[in-house]
């Protein structure tokens, strides 16, 4: 009896202590809510799973390594070396890699390039495409100094930034098997286009590598895709690209939701400029590939000032963390349903 009564008392005491602790915890939580500086809202449906860490400094180093090869102009030794370097990194990350040659003839001129295709979990039927262009523009024709407009663009932001984020994603996908099939595509021959090509067929178009890719792989249909272009500027600002917002609004919302979840505030909730980029050949075939691109373009765009000193690891990190949340958060959540 006594023992039993004493045990009951102990239980009651524990319950009381437990209730007291709960009240204190609730008060502390309420106080924290009250004093917390406003930040991104944390949605209550975030799955309790570990996300791999996107290392922004790695990405910045990967951008620098590309710039150090020199301008990646098709047909130059720097372009060849960069292609081999990207392919080698992808293979080392454990991806299955294919080098897909592209030949384009235009106005009696022949352009040769190589798209690189890298896959993680080739057996998965649901696949997500992540892409960027790896070539750089042969001429800095937007340079403020007319005397420098025939020089090549260094391509730190326009070329290297997107590739850098993808290569860091490759490392991460190799170390942490993604819950969905991931294809990384590095397009060549994106950035030699001439202004006015849409209405004048004598002018060389942009996005030749991705147009060739879509043509060569008519049965390749990922669930959706995200193209990265100019995602590393220190003043990164990413409104929703116009064609993407129009043709694939649900994918745009999904990616911006991922950005919101990780507090990547460079992704702003407004529609920006419409850009003819590597996503267009996919959109034309009804494959929802969206473009994550800074608009208006940074003032280094197609100038000799598109150099490493304008890039920032924080910017690359925002884009990388968004992709990690998209894949290891939102896609994992879908796969577990």
- For Zn ion, the binding residues (CB under 5 A) are 158, 191
- Kindly state the smallest distance separating residue 158's Cβ from Zn ion, in Å: 4
Residues with Cβ within 8 Å of 223's Cβ and at least 6 positions away in sequence, in order, are: 126, 127, 128, 180
Q: Which is nearer to Zn ion, 67 or 128 (CB)?
A: 67
SS3 of the chain: helix, strand, coil, percent, to 5: 45, 15, 40
Question: Which stretch of DSSP H or E encloses residue 269?
Answer: strand 267-271
Q: Which is nearer to Zn ion, 143 or 158 (CB)?
A: 158
**Rounded-to-integer distance, Cα 322 and Cα 337, Å:** 21
CB 94 within 8 A of CB 147: no
Q: Which is nearer to Zn ion, 191 or 278 (CB)?
A: 191
- Kindly state the smallest distance separating residue 294's Cβ from Zn ion, in Å: 11
Q: Which is nearer to Zn ion, 120 or 186 (CB)?
A: 186
Q: Which is nearer to Zn ion, 121 or 151 (CB)?
A: 151
Structural Rg of the chain based on CA atoms: 24
Q: Which is nearer to Zn ion, 191 or 241 (CB)?
A: 191
- Kindly state the smallest distance separating residue 302's Cβ from Zn ion, in Å: 6
Residue 326, SS3 per DSSP? helix
Q: Which is nearer to Zn ion, 190 or 331 (CB)?
A: 190
- Kindly state the smallest distance separating residue 334's Cβ from Zn ion, in Å: 34
**Rounded-to-integer distance, Cα 34 and Cα 324, Å:** 30
- Kindly state the smallest distance separating residue 69's Cβ from Zn ion, in Å: 17
Q: Which residues pair with 238 in a beta bridge?
A: 267
**Rounded-to-integer distance, Cα 78 and Cα 84, Å:** 10
Q: Which is nearer to Zn ion, 158 or 331 (CB)?
A: 158
Distance, C-alpha 18 to centroid of its chain: 47
For 272-300, the DSSP string reads ------TTHHHHHTT--EEEEE-SSPPTT
- Kindly state the smallest distance separating residue 61's Cβ from Zn ion, in Å: 22
**Residue whose C-alpha is closest to residue 319's, from 248, 254, 267:** 267
For 78-114, the DSSP string reads HHHHHHHHHHHHHHHTT-EEEEEEEEEEETTEEEEEE
- Kindly state the smallest distance separating residue 190's Cβ from Zn ion, in Å: 7
Question: Which stretch of DSSP H or E encloses residue 143?
Answer: none
Task: Give the torsion sign (CA, 8, 11, 17, 23).
Answer: negative
Q: What angle do helix axes 162-175 and 313-324 make, rounded to 10 degrees?
A: 50
**Residue whose C-alpha is closest to residue 133's, from 269, 280, 286:** 280
Q: Which residues pair with 240 in a beta bridge?
A: 271
Q: Which is nearer to Zn ion, 58 or 157 (CB)?
A: 157
- Kindly state the smallest distance separating residue 137's Cβ from Zn ion, in Å: 5
- Kindly state the smallest distance separating residue 194's Cβ from Zn ion, in Å: 12
């Amino acid at each position: 009896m006594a023992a039993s009564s004493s045990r009951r008392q102990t239980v009651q005491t524990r319950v009381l202590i437990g209730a007291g602790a709960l009240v204190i915890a609730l008060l502390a939580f309420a106080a924290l809510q009250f004093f917390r500086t406003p930040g991104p809202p944390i949605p209550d449906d975030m799955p309790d799973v570990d996300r791999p860490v996107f290392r922004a400094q790695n990405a910045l180093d990967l951008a620098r390594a590309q710039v150090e090869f020199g301008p990646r102009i098709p047909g130059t030794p720097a372009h060849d070396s960069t292609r081999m370097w990207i392919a080698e990194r992808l293979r080392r990350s454990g991806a299955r890699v294919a080098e897909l040659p592209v030949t384009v003839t235009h106005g009696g001129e022949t352009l040769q390039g190589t798209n690189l295709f890298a896959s993680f979990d080739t057996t998965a039927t649901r696949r997500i495409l992540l892409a960027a262009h790896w070539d750089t523009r042969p001429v800095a024709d937007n340079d403020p100094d007319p005397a420098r407009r025939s020089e090549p663009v260094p391509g730190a932001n326009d070329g290297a930034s997107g590739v850098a984020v993808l290569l860091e994603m490759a490392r991460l996908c190799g170390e942490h098997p993604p819950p969905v099939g991931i294809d990384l595509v590095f397009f060549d021959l994106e950035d030699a286009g001439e202004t006015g090509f849409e209405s004048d067929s004598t002018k060389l178009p942009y996005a030749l590598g991705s147009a060739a890719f879509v043509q060569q792989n008519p049965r390749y249909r990922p669930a959706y895709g995200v193209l990265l272009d100019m995602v590393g500027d220190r003043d990164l600002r990413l409104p929703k690209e116009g064609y993407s917002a129009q043709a694939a609004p649900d994918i745009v919302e999904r990616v911006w939701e991922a950005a919101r979840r990780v507090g990547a505030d460079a992704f702003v909730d407004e529609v920006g400029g419409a850009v003819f980029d590597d996503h267009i050949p996919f959109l034309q075939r009804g494959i929802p590939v969206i473009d994550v691109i800074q608009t208006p373009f940074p003032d280094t765009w197609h100038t000799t000032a598109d150099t490493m000193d304008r890039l920032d690891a924080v910017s690359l990190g925002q884009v990388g963390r968004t992709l990690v949340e998209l894949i290891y958060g939102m896609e994992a959540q879908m796969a577990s349903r």
